[in-house]
Amino acid sequence: MLLFIGGAEILIILLFVVLFFGANKIPELAKGLGKAMRELKDASNEIKKDIRESTNKIKDDLDIDK
């Protein structure tokens, strides 16, 4: 759905953000958004790591039983 957003739509959204929050709040909003994205990425990497470790453990257990 977001793939269909063009330049004009982005400008309208940015204008709305500036009008709604004010120019002084935009850096704070961007900082908060950046932190949230970083936490989401870290959580995703942690889940991938746990899955990788679990599958490796299962593979090792299966190799020992043979």
Return d(Cα 29, Cα 36) in angstroms, integer. Answer: 11
Structural domain count, the chain: 1
The tens digit of pLDDT for each residue in 11-37 reads 898 888 888 888 888 888 889 989 999
Residue pointed to by tokens 């090792």: 60
Return d(Cα 40, Cα 32) in angstroms, integer. Answer: 12
Return d(Cα 34, Cα 26) in angstroms, integer. Answer: 12
In the prediction, which pLDDT does 31 show?
93
Domain membership of residue 44 as a residue range: 2-65
Q: Is the confidence at residue 1, as pLDDT, over 80?
A: no
Return d(Cα 16, Cα 5) in angstroms, integer. Answer: 15
